Amino acid sequence: MQDYFIEKLKRVSFDRTLFLKEFQKSRRWLKQDEMDKVEQWARLFHHDKLEQTGSDELSDFSGQSGIE
């Protein structure tokens, strides 16, 4: 499933808002180890979109997980 979200992020990488929306959505569906890999990929290939994110906004993303 992590590959699905990586592909989805690749498709919306032209738009920062869409990228962050899909990135946030992936947190609801992926297990923590899968999300770690997606986040690592995003930081490696699209760090510019994550760097522009305020620390509060990014921490909102990291606090959301599909595991309850």
Q: pLDDT digit string (tens) for 20-60?
A: 999 999 999 999 999 999 999 999 999 888 876 554 445 45
Tell me if the pTM is above 0.75.
no
DSSP element (H, E) containing 25: helix 16-29
SS3 at position 12: coil
pLDDT score, position 38:
94
pLDDT score, position 24:
93
Residues 2 and 30 sit within 8 Å (Cβ to Cβ): yes
Question: Which of 32, 31, 23, 12 minimizes the C-alpha distance to 53?
Answer: 23
pLDDT of 64 higher than 90? no
Higher-confidence position of 64 and 3: 3
Q: Can you tell me the distance from the alpha carbon of 68 to that of 54, in angstroms, rounded to the nearest whole number?
A: 26
